[in-house]
Chains A and B, each alone.
Chain A
């Protein structure tokens, strides 16, 4: 029997369909945490970097990657953790940022705060706390529509 090795582009496509467990509106590839996919002989090696070192989603993400790839018939699989270069919110894709905004989470900005309220688009916003419901988010509030909202932290 000949084992078919799917092309790397196909594998990337499969991974782009795996949602982030905490923010399911974006995928793992949108988040930019999958750093490399390589065949090492008959084994598929996927390199993943954590967003925050204590993020509880990290082990779920690894499980989701494994489940998805096994579902596509990959039998020999290893997941490699890579710390350096450390994950940065700059690795979020453009489409990932747009999906966050649509979902109600202000995407990260180089200036360090949200561009505008993700609901009413007002630029009058204030920070409530640098920390939020998950390690990657901060709490902000719109001074016009008065709604609190999540901001995806810039790191």
Chain B
């Protein structure tokens, strides 16, 4: 049985790892050069944060696994990322909508974690807040620009929001791991972040002239690992290919 702290650190690190890898898939093929560079920079920050979270998870576990071992030697059912992070890129608009939904939650979460009773978690959060502030500013601006853009871009952003919305609710649903974190003052109750998230989301969507879906149905199973969507396995075959073909190969 894994300790709740290890589970929690894997959730944070797997979110940034899986989304970081997804975003890196745009490298070299984004619509314009500036966006290509911005996406690559965002992916780099997220993967840097992954090294901190999964590095700490490995230390806490104490079985000699480092961040690389956790990233490349686990299979789908061991991943603890939210379902939102593993959803495919789709078009550029869908990628930016996914980024905006995640960044908005991520920034609120990290600001809360900066006050964690665990000094190492507080330090990682303090560092990450600076980077994620830039991510959120850009993704919100882009969602507003494309939502309140042409008829075509508006239609695509609304379609992206409708498609991704059922994966948002999971970010705010707590379980035993979260309860243990709250009890020890390590992390906030996920549900307590919802009001701030909704307020920021509503403000941005209003500017973007987009409509939030009325149905709040939420898919679950990513952060517990119980039921990932089919997309994660396909992504891991690419991300982990080298370590699967040549175990423990290094530079």
Are B44's CB and A54's CB within 8 A? yes
Are B41's CB and A135's CB within 8 A? yes
A-B CB pair tally, cutoff 8 Å: 71
A53 at the interface (CB under 8 A from B): yes
Are B131's CB and A53's CB within 8 A? yes
- Docked Cα-Cα span, A83 to B116, in Å, equals 15
A19 at the interface (CB under 8 A from B): no
- Docked Cα-Cα span, A66 to B119, in Å, equals 28
Binding site secondary structure of chain B: helix
Q: What are 23 contact pairs spanning A and B, CB under 8 A? A: A50-B48, A53-B45, A53-B49, A53-B131, A54-B44, A54-B47, A83-B126, A84-B122, A84-B126, A86-B126, A86-B130, A87-B127, A128-B34, A130-B137, A131-B37, A131-B41, A131-B42, A132-B41, A135-B45, A135-B131, A139-B37, A155-B130, A155-B134
B128-168 to A contact mask, C-beta < 8 Å, 1/0: 11110010011000000000000000000000000000000
B52 at the interface (CB under 8 A from A): yes
Q: What is B's interface to A at a CB cutoff of 8 Å?
A: 34-35, 37-38, 41-42, 44-49, 51-52, 119, 122-124, 126-131, 134, 137-138
Residues of B with C-beta under 8 A to A133: 37
Q: Which of A55, A131, A155 has the most CB of B within 10 A?
A: A131
- Docked Cα-Cα span, A129 to B52, in Å, equals 27
- Docked Cα-Cα span, A54 to B24, in Å, equals 13
